[in-house]
Amino acid sequence: METPCKDLIDTHCHLDAAVFAGDHEAVHEQARRAGVTTMVVPGISCRGWWRLLDLCTRLVGCYPALGLHPLFLGDHCGEHLGELERLIATHPVCAVGEIGLDFWDKEADSESQGKLFADQVAIAAQAKLPLILHVRKAHDQVLAMLRRLRFSHGGIVHSFSGSLRQAHRYAELGFCLGVSGTVTYERATRVRGVVAAMPLADLVLETDAPDIAPAGCRGERNSPANLPLVLEALSVIRSESGADIGAATSANARRLFGIGAID
């Protein structure tokens, strides 16, 4: 497929994941050939932060975000919050993330997740950095915490899966919705309805590579090079040109993360 936009931004891809070991450069080059010039790489645990920072230093157009993911509570400790503060003060980190609340498992430790999330929101606020949010079955709780903590630096709700009402509430707080390969699935009617109804100014594109492969690629390792497939689906859903959507979503991402265009 010919890419209608040559300056796409993948706002969420895990290029540091083990499944990409050994071919980071090839995956990166393939993405750039597909028109994906910029990739944001969020962290999920302290033990992977240095590897992620090194990777983003070596690959043109890759920007690191650092965070402690709610699904890996057993990997985190209080010292990691101090390390997060230190690293974002000394390295060009574009966001704090991937952080949030995940109550998909009804036995999830909601209290510990909530404290970890609040602590990281406070660190982001102090550093004046946006957030990359991971939220499942907890949108109302995250929205309430963001309001209570008076967080004002915006961010992205990764692979948004909530309701239209929740989408508007995030937008009111300065957050964009991450549009992922989910929108390529015909059965994802609620997500498709939300991204069709929201203003384009509130949307950004993402792959979540190596996860959430688009329809037609399911079961395969996802890649940032598949971002044009997400764009194509969104163009059909919204009845708008891919070029216009690509340009707008890239502009939205640059505004949120404070990053420039890549040659």
Q: What is the pLDDT of residues 103-126, one digit of tens each?
A: 988 888 999 999 999 999 999 999
Whether residue 261 has pLDDT greater than 70: no
The confidence band for 262, taking pLDDT boundaries of 50, 70 and 90, is low
SS3 (DSSP) at 194? helix
All domains of the chain, ordered by start, with CATH?
Answer: 8-257 (3.20.20.140)
CA distances from 218 to 130, 206, 215 (A): 31, 16, 6
Q: Higher model confidence: residue 106 or residue 261?
A: 106
The confidence band for 69, taking pLDDT boundaries of 50, 70 and 90, is very high
**Mean pLDDT, the chain, as a whole number?**
94
H-helix or E-strand containing 147? Answer: helix 139-148
Q: What is the pLDDT of residue 3?
A: 46
pTM summary value: 0.96
- In this structure, how many other beta carbons lie within 10 angstroms of the beta carbon of residue 51? 12
The C-alpha atoms of residue 201 and residue 24 are separated, in whole angstroms, by 31
SS3 (DSSP) at 39? strand
Mean pLDDT along residues 23-51: 96
Strands 155-157, 131-136: pairing is parallel
